[in-house]
Structure 1
Amino acid sequence: MTNEAPSAALAELAHVYGVATEYWDWQGHHILVSATTIRAVLGALGVEAADDQAASQSLWAAHERPWRRRVPPMTLHRQGTWGTVRVHVPDGAQLEAWVQPESGGRLVLEQAMVWVDPRWIDGQLIGVATFNLPADLPLGWHTLHALIDGEQEAASGTFVVVPHSLTPPPGVDSDGAWGLMSQLYSVRSANSWGVGDFCDLADMAVWSARDLGADFTLINPVHAAEFSGPMEASPYLPTSRRFVNPLYIRVEDIPEVAYLDATVRAQIEAIAVPARARNTSERIDRDACWEAKKAALRLVYAHPRSSRRQRSFEAFMEAEGEALVDYATWCVLHELNDEPWPAELQDSRSAAVEQVRMEHLHEIGFVMWCQWIVDQQLAAVQREALDAGMTLGIMQDLAVGVHPDGSDAWGLRDALAGQVTVGAPPDPYNQRGQDWSQPPWRPDRLAELGYRPFRDMIRAALRHSGGLRVDHIIGLFRLWWIPEGQEPTEGTYVRYDHEALIGILTLEAHRAGAVIVGEDLGTVEPWVRDFLVERGVLGTSILWFERNDDGWPRSPEQYRRLCLASVTTHDLPPTAGYLTGEHIRVRDELGLFTRPMVEELAEDIAGREQMLVALRDRGLLEEQAELSTLAIDPSASQLEEIIEGLHKYLSFSPALLLGVSVPDLVGDRRTMNQPGTSTEYPNWLLPLAGPDRKPMLLEELMASRWARRLTRGVHRGRRP
C-alpha cells in the first residue's frame, strides 16, 4: 500500500466523517495515515473521494445534508441537563415542535431566540429554528415532531432521553460484589451433551452463590452461531448478537419432554448417550454436540404444546418480530446454499427470499422455537441465580461484532460497512496488530435508523442478566477499520457518536437494573475513561496490566472504584499458567513476537518478580523461598500460595466488582484464546482442565476444597 499523504481536501473530508488521518501508536510514535487507506475507508462509508474534485463535492454534500432534513433522524438528550435541538424549515415559516413520549402525551417545546444564517438549498432559502430541551424530560424512547403552519403532516425523528449517569444496584453500590468468570461451553457436567449448557450454568451459579457467597457469574458471549455446521468456535465471532446460541439448551429441561411417549424418549436417550460420552474429550466438538441436540430438539418440536405454552411461543415471536424471522430465514438459507449465495438471496427483502420463507415455514418455525426455548432456559438461570442469593446473577458478554457472512451481516447489511473489517493496531501483546474479520457499524446509518439495531441488541443482551460486559468498549468511541485485503497495520480509526452509543447503553441498563462493565484495555485515549466514569460505566482492571509509571505493580488502593478487577482474563493463561510462563511459551512457538525471545522472557520474569515483591510486602507471601526462583519455576504448593495471595491483593482494592476465573479454581494452565491466531492454536476449544491438563467436570469443581479456600480469601476481603 502506498504511503501517499492525504491532500487538504481529502483530510478535511475525512475529518467530517470521523476518519482519522493520524494517530499515536502504542510505542508513542506519531503515525500519518496514507491517502489510500483514507479513500478506502471513506468508500466503505459510501463517500466518493477518488480525487480532490470528488472529495470537494462530497464535502459540500456533507455540509448540506442536515439542511435537507427538517427534523434530525436521531436526537439524544441527557436527563438533568438543558439542551437544544435544531429544526430546518423554509426561512420565515412558523412552526410548532413537541416531544411525544413513548407512554403517550405531548410535551410542547419552547423556541429559543437563537439566530442562524439561512442557507440556499436546492433553490430555496432554508432557515433554522432552535428549540429548548428542558432538564426534566422523561427517560425513554420518544418521538420528536415539527409541524409547519398550514401543513397537514408533521416531520418526525427518534428522540431519546438517557440517564446522566448509571447508578449500580443498591447492594452493589454500597458493598461491592464478587463473582466467577467462566467460559460456559468449557464447564461440562456428567449430564452435559459434550458442551457446557444453561443447566450447567444454573448449577454453577447456585453452588457459587450458596457455598462461596458469589454475587454474579460472568460468562462468555452466548450469541447465536451457525445453525448448521461448521459452527464458528469463537464466541466473539457470532452470526448474530441479537439472538442466543441454541447449543446451550439442555434438552431434558424442556417441559414437553415429560409428555413424550416412551418410544420418543428412548430415541432422545439414544442420541444423548454418545453425546454425553464427549464430556471427557480433550477438545470441544461443537458441531457433533449441536447435531446431536438438533436431532433431539426436532423430536421435541414435533410434539404438540399445551395451549398455554403455544401462546407463550406466539407471544415470543410477536415480540421479537421481523428480526427473528430474518434470523430464522438466514439459518435455513445457510443450510440450503453453499457460499457464495446466489445474488437474489443476498437481499433479505427480495422476492426470492420471500419464496424461500413460504416454502420452508416448518423449518423456519423450528429455528424460532429453538430461540424461544433457549430464551426460556436463560431466563430460568437468572431467576435461580437471584433466588440463591446473588446480587446481580448472570453477567453476559457482548462481542465487538459479527461474522461477515452471518445473519446480522445479512439482515442488517444496510447498517454495516462493506469492504472493511474491524481489528486493532499493534500493541504490546499483539505486535502485528489484529484483524477480527468483522464488518463495523456505519455511524451514519445508525443515526439514520435511530440507533434501533444497536438498542435492540443491547436490550436483548440485558433481558435475562444483571450485568453486561462490553468487549472492547473503546469501539463505541472509535474503531480500527482495515480496508479489505490489507494488513492490520494499514488501517485507521473511525469515530462514532459515543454520546449516543453510551447513552443508549446506560438507558437500557437503567431499565434492566443492571451494571455495565466496559473492557477498556489496550490503547485508550485518557479522556475516554473519564467519560465512562462520568456515565457510571465500569472499566476493567487486570492485575498484570496495572502498573505505575515506573513499571512497578500498582498498589490495590490505587485501583479505580468503578471497575471489574481480576487477576487474569480469557486472552491470557489462567494464573497458574501465567506464573509459569505459558503465555511466553505459546507466543514464541507461534512466532507472534517481533522482539527476540530472550528479551520477552526477561521482561516477563522481571514483571512477575515485581509482583511477588508486592505480595511479600503485604505479608501475602512467605519469605522462605527466593523470589527469583518463584518467578521462574514455582512448585505446585508455591503456585497455590501465590495465586491465593494475588486474589487477596485484589480484595484490598476499592474496585466495585472482583472477578475470579473458574480455571483458577482448578489450577488450569492453558490459554483459552491466543489473540492474533486462528487455526494455529485451539482457540475456544479447550474444556476446563486440572493442572495435569486433563478435562475436569463441573461436579469435580464443586467438590474442590481449593476453590473454597481461594474464594474465601476474596469473600472475606469484600465482606469484613
Structure 2
Amino acid sequence: MTTSTLDMFMGLKSINPNFVDAWGNPAQVTEENIRSIIDKMGFDSSDDAQLMSHYNEHEKRHWLSPLSPVIVCQKNSEYVIEVRLPIDLAAQEITCKFILEDKSESVHQICATNFPLVATKIISDIEYQCYSVTLAVDLPFGYHSLSLFEANIDEAMATMSFIVTPKSCYTPKAIEQGEKLWGTSVQLYCLKSEANWGIGDFSDLKLLLAKTKENGGEFIGLNPIHALSPSQPSNVSPYSPSSRKWLNILYTDITAVDEFTRNSALKTKVSSDDFKQKLTALRNTDWVNYEEVTALKLSALRDLFATLNDQSAESAVRLNAFTQYVDEKGESLIQQASYDALQFYFLEKDANSWGWPVWPEAFQAFQNEAAQTWIKENEAEVLFWCYTQWVAELQLEEADKVAKSLGMTLGIYRDLAVGVGVSSSEIWANHSLYCEHISVGAPPDILGPLGQSWGLPPIAPDQLQETAYQPFIDLLKSNMSHCGALRIDHVMALLRLWWVPEGASADKGAYIYYQVEDMLNLLALESVRNECLVIGEDLGTVPDGIDVLLKEAGVYSYKVFFFEQAEDGGYISPEHYAGQAMATLSTHDMPTIKGFWHCEDLHLGRQLGLYPDQAIYETLLNDRLICKQKILDSLHGHGSLPADYPRDALYVGMDQTLNFALQTHLATGSSALLSLQLEDFLQMDQPVNVPGTSDEYRNWQRKLSQTLEQLFNNDGIKVLCENLTNARHR
C-alpha cells in the first residue's frame, strides 16, 4: 500500500489525526479538518501536486545538506550524528571541527564509510548516502557548533548548531534534601498598597517577598509579567501578550527609578494635593483603572527619560549604563521598542489603528524598508521605549536580589504564557516563524465541552528546527532571569499543540507535534544555567507517557486539589500526591475557594449566559454539592477539621475555619511545593478571570480586598501562615 500525498504531507508537518480524548476514548480528526489546517498554513490542500512538490523540495534540501540545522543531546562521552554526502565524498577524509561556546576548538578526522550506512537517495542522477557517525569528544554543557570540511578546503561544507545539555532541570539542594516549601501566588496588578499608583508594582513585590518570608513562606508566584500594549491599556490579559520576552512596564514603581530623585519638577508634581488625590482614587478602587494608570505612568516615564538625557554629570553614569543595556539586548529590544513607538504613532493618525495587521502594508513587518526608515528617523522615541524596559527590568532584578538576600529558597517564580496575541510585536518582528491564520487551544474536554481557541498563533515545528530552536532558547533565557522558578503554562506545548484554523470552532482542530526531547533538553540546560526550578502546568488532555518524560526531565508537576479525585469521586489524600510537584487549591482560571463553595462561579456563568439552558446550570449545582460533600468527608477523615465541625455540605457555608483548614490540609501533603492564592487568604469570592468570556466580565482587573500592609497585620492570616509552616515542616 502506498502512502497518500496527504499522509506524507501530514508527516512532514507533524500533524497527527489520532489522539485520546479527555474521557480516555480514541479520537480521530476528520480529513476535512486536516485539510482546513493545511490551507491556513498557506498551502492548497486540494492540490496534491503542490503538496507533493513541497514535500519533494523539503526532502531534496534535506539530502543536499550534509548536516541538519541542529542537534540537541544530553552530555555523553560520544555523540551520534547523521552525515549526508554525495557518494564520491563518502570515502574521503573529512574534518569535523567543533567550536565550543568558549571559542575553543576540537578537531577530528573521519571517513564516513567507516560508519554504518543508514539510507541513500538519488538526486539528479547522483547518489547521496547517509551515515550514522559516532564522534568521541568531551563537550561541556552549552551551545556549540560543528562544521565539516573537505581536505584542503577552508570553507565549511556544512555547519550545525550542536547543543549539549544536562539530563534534567535544576532543583535547589534544600528541596533535594526533603524540605517542603510553601508560598503564595498573585496576579501582580491585583496588589493594593499604601504607596502604589493604583496597580501592583515591583516595589509591592519586594514588600510581599519580605512579609511572606517573615511569615514562613519561601516564594511568590506571579502571573505572567510579559509586555502588553501600552497604547491599548484595555487589552490586559497577561496570557495574550505582545511579547513574552519583555516586561509589562506598568509594574515599574515610578518613585523608585533613579531619575525620579533628580527630577525636582516631577517630585513636586507627585507630592501636590491634586496628584495625591488622583493616586488615592486609583488605589481605592476594587478594579484596576488601566487607562488612567497607564496615562499617569507614561507621562512620568517621559519626564524621567528627559532627566536621563539632561546632559548633567549626575546623569552621565546612568546614561552610559542604559546605552550598554541597549547594546547588550540587541535587535530584540529594538523590535519591542519600535513596535510600541509605532503603535502610538499610528493611533494618533487613526483611532482604529490597533496594531500591525491594520497598518499600511509597508509598516506591517519590522524588516520592511519603510519601518526601518521610520525607526532611524525617530531614534529618540524608540530609545524612550527601550528605557521603559530597562527601568522595569532593573526593578525586577532588585526584587529578585531582595528574595535572595532574605534567604528564600525560590523567591520569585515567574509564569510563561503559551503564546502571543495576533497583533503582538513578536509576530510583527518574526512573521516567518508563525502560522498567523491558526490559533492554539484545546480539544473538547470535561472543563470545556466545546473546546477552546485562545487566539494565539503557533510557531511551526519545522521553523523552530530551522532556526536551531533559537526563539525557544531566547524565551527561556529571558523568563528564567531574575527568579528562582518558572511555571510553564500548558506544558503540553513542549510535546504538541491543538491547532484551530482561523474561523473554525475549537473542535475542528488537530494536534501538531514538536520535538519534545529536544525541547526538554533545552529546558534543562537553561534551568541549570539559571538555577531555576521548572513547574509544568500539566492539566487538560494529557497523553500517556508525557508524565514520565516530564518527571525524568526534572519538571515539577502541577496538582490542583479540586481535580485530584479518585474513581469514586472522593478526593485523593495530599499525602499521596507526587513529591516532584507543586500542589495548589485553585488557579487563575478557577473560582476562589469561597467562590467555589458558594457556587459563585456557576451563578456568574448563568448570569453571563455561559450555559445553554437552566437544566445544565442545575446539573452543575448538583454536581458541586456532591463535590463539596466529598471534600468535607475527606477533611474530617484526615482530622483536618474540628471534630464538632458540621458534616453536611448542604448546610455548611464557607467560613474562615473551613477555608483555612482546606489550605492547611493541602500543606500536610507530600508535594515539595505548595502554592496558595492571596485572595484565598483574604476569603474573597470574586474570580480574577472567567474563562470563555471577554467583555462579559472584567477579567484581569480585580484587586485584592486589602492592602499588603493590612493583610500581614491580620492576626488570622498570621496564624494561618504559622500553621502552613508547621504542616510543611512535618
Q: TM-score range by the shorter chain?
A: over 0.9
User: Which of the residues 426, 429, 432 maps onto 1:414?
Assistant: 432
Deviation at 1:8, TM superposition (A): 3.9
Which of 145, 153, 156 pairs up with 2:155? Answer: 153
1:251, 1:159 → 2: CA distance? 44
- Could you tell me whether the CA contact under 8 Å between 1:19 and 1:41 is conserved in 2? no
Aligned residue among 676, 699, 708 for 1:698 = 708
10-19 or 246-255: bigger deviation: 10-19
Q: What does residue 239 of structure 1 align with?
A: 242
CA apart distance, 1:635: 3.9
Shift of 1:625: 4.7
Alignment of 1:434-513 (within 5 A): 434-513=452-531
Quickly say closer, same or farther: Cα 1:710–1:440, change in 2 above 3 A. Answer: same
Aligned-residue offset at 1:509: 1.1
Secondary structure of 2:160's counterpart equals strand
1:275 and 2:279 equivalent?
Answer: yes
- By how many angstroms is 1:149 displaced? 2.3
Alignment deviations for residues 570-599 of structure 1 (CA, whole Å, 9 cap, x no partner) = 111121211221222222333334672222
Structure-1 residue corresponding to 2:297: 293
Q: Distance in 1 between matches of 2:230 and 2:124?
A: 50
Matched residue type, 2:295:
E
Contact 2:646 2:652 in 1 (8 A): no
What residue number does 1:101 align with?
A: 100
SS in 2 for 1:526: coil
Q: Structure 1 pair 612/136, CA: closer, same or farther in 2 (3 Å)?
A: farther
Aligned-partner residue type, residue 606 of structure 1? I
For 1:272 and 1:374, how far apart are their aligned partners in 2? Answer: 23
Amino acid aligned to 1:96? T
SS in 2 for 1:127: strand
Identity value in percent: 29
1:213 aligns with 2:177: no
In the TM superposition, what are the counterparts of 1:138-217 in structure 2 within 5 Å?
A: 138-154=140-156, 155-174=158-177, 175-210=179-214, 212-217=215-220
1:692 corresponds to? none
The answer as to whether partners of 1:225 and 1:231 remain within 8 angstroms in 2 is no
**Given residue 336 of structure 2, which amino acid in structure 1 is its aligned partner?**
Y
* Structure 1 equivalent of residue 616 of structure 2: 596
- Aligned counterparts of 1:524 and 1:86: Cα–Cα separation in 2: 32
Alignment of 1:541-552 (within 5 A): 541-552=559-570
Could you tell which deviates more after superposition, 651-660 or 213-222? 651-660
Q: Does 1:710 align with 2:720?
A: yes
Return 29-38 or 328-337, whichever deviates more. 29-38
1:645 — aligned with what?
A: 661
8 Å Cα contact 1:427-1:523 kept in structure 2: yes
Question: For residue 361 of structure 1, what is the amino acid of its counterpart?
Answer: E
Asked if 1 retains the 8 angstrom alpha-carbon contact of 2:266 and 2:300, the reply is no
Residue 619 (structure 1) aligned with residue 650 (structure 2): no
Report matched runs for 1:235-634 at 5 Å: 235-261=238-264, 263-270=265-272, 271=275, 273-303=277-307, 304=310, 306-337=315-346, 338-339=353-354, 340-593=358-611, 596-628=616-648, 631-634=649-652
- Higher mean Cα deviation, 512-521 or 547-556? 547-556
| 1:225 Cα offset (Å) | 0.6
Whole-angstrom distance in 2 between the partners of 1:51 and 1:293: 54
SS of residue matched to 1:560 = coil
Shift of 1:82: 4.9
Aligned equivalents of 1:389, 1:273: Cα separation in 2: 38
Map Cα deviations across residues 586-635 of structure 1 (whole Å, 9 max, x no partner): 2233333467222211112111211111110111113435422xx24534
In structure 1, what is the equivalent of residue 690 of structure 2?
Answer: 674
CA distance in 2 between partners of 1:584 and 1:243 (Å)? 36
Residues in 2 aligned to 1:550 and 1:124: alpha-carbon distance in whole angstroms: 65
Aligned residue type for 1:170: K
C-alpha contact (below 8 Å) 1:70/1:87 kept by paired residues: yes
Return the offset for 1:125: 2.2
CA gap of 1:150–1:381, structure 2 versus 1, over 3 A, is same
TM-score w.r.t. length of structure 1: 0.94
> Where do residues 217-228 of structure 1 align in structure 2 (5 Å cutoff)?
217-228=220-231
Moved more, 696-705 or 183-192: 696-705
Q: CA deviation at 1:68?
A: 2.3
Residue number among 60, 64, 67 corresponding to 1:68 in the alignment: 64
Farther off after superposition, 169-178 or 106-115: 106-115
Q: Is the Cα contact below 8 Å between 2:288 and 2:701 reproduced in 1?
A: yes
Query: Is the CA contact (8 Å cut-off) linking 2:659 and 2:683 kept in structure 1?
Result: no
Deviation at 1:356, TM superposition (A): 0.9
CA 150–90 in structure 1, closer or farther in 2 if over 3 Å, else same: farther
Residues 1:149 and 1:130: Cα distance change in structure 2 (over 3 Å): farther
| Structure-2 separation of matches of 1:148 and 1:37 | 48
**Cα distance in structure 1, aligned partners of 2:291 and 2:7:** 48
Q: Deviations over 1:146-174 (max 9, x none)?
A: 11224321121211111111240111222
Amino acid aligned to 1:627: R
In 1, Cα distance between equivalents of 2:608 and 2:57: 48
Q: Secondary structure at the match of 1:429?
A: coil
Range 362-371 or range 89-98, more displaced: 89-98
Shift of 1:81: 7.1
State the shift of 1:133 in Å.
4.8
Deviation at residue 400 of structure 1 after TM alignment:
0.6
Instruction: State the alpha-carbon separation in 1 of the partners of residues 297 and 641 from structure 2.
Output: 48
Equivalent residue, structure 2, for 1:85: 81
Superposed CA RMSD in Å reads: 1.9
**Could you say if the C-alpha distance between residues 48 and 141 of structure 1 is closer, same or farther in structure 2, counting changes exceeding 3 Å?**
farther
Aligned residue identity for 1:245: N
Question: 2:73 is paired with a residue of what secondary structure?
Answer: strand
Residue segments in structure 1 that go unaligned for 5+ positions in a row: 1-6, 690-695
Measured against aligned partners, the alpha-carbon deviations of 1:206-230 in whole angstroms (never above 9, x if no partner) come to 11112x1111100000000112123
- In the alignment, structure 1 residue 684 sits paired with structure 2 residue 680: no
**Separation of aligned partners in 2, 1:437 and 1:503:** 28
Following superposition, the deviation at residue 136 of structure 1 comes to: 4.6
Q: Pick from 13, 21, 25: which aligns with 1:25?
A: 21
Q: Which SS does the other structure have where 2:477 is aligned?
A: helix
Distance 1:188 1:172 in 2: 32
Q: Deviations over 1:29-87 (max 9, x none)?
A: 44332223212323444555323343344443444342121221111111247541112
Give the whole-Å Cα distance in 1 for the aligned partners of 2:380 and 2:279: 26
Aligned to 2:350: none
User: Residue 4 of structure 1 aligns with which residue?
Assistant: none
For the residue of structure 2 that corresponds to 1:92, the secondary structure is helix
How far apart are residue 110 of structure 1 and its match?
A: 7.0
Assess if the C-alpha contact under 8 Å between 1:574 and 1:663 holds in 2: yes
Contact 1:45 1:442 in 2 (8 A): no
Q: Describe the shift of the 1:238–1:117 C-alpha distance in structure 2 as closer, same or farther (beyond 3 A).
A: closer
CA distance in 2: counterparts of 1:133 and 1:492, whole angstroms: 39
Of residues 643, 663, 668, the one that matches 2:679 is 663
CA distance in 1, matches of 2:487, 2:394: 21
More displaced 10-residue stretch of structure 1: 504-513 or 643-652: 643-652
Which AA in structure 1 matches 2:228?
A: A
C-alpha contact (below 8 Å) 1:284/1:685 kept by paired residues: yes
Structure 2 Cα separation of the partners of residues 293 and 435 of structure 1: 33
Offset of residue 296 of structure 1: 0.7
CA distance in 1: counterparts of 2:154 and 2:234, whole angstroms:
53
Which secondary structure state, in structure 2, belongs to the residue aligned with residue 165 of structure 1? coil
Superposition TM-score, scaled by structure 2 size: 0.93
Amino acid paired to 1:158: S
Q: Counterparts of 1:578 and 1:73 in 2: how far apart (Å)? A: 50
- SS of match in other structure, 2:300: helix
In the alignment, the residues of structure 1 paired with residue 523 and residue 606 of structure 2 have an alpha-carbon distance, to the nearest angstrom, of 39
Distance 1:486 1:135 in 2: 51
Structure 2 CA distance for aligned equivalents of residues 269 and 88 of structure 1: 70
For the residues of structure 2 that align with 1:622 and 1:377, how far apart are their CA atoms? 45
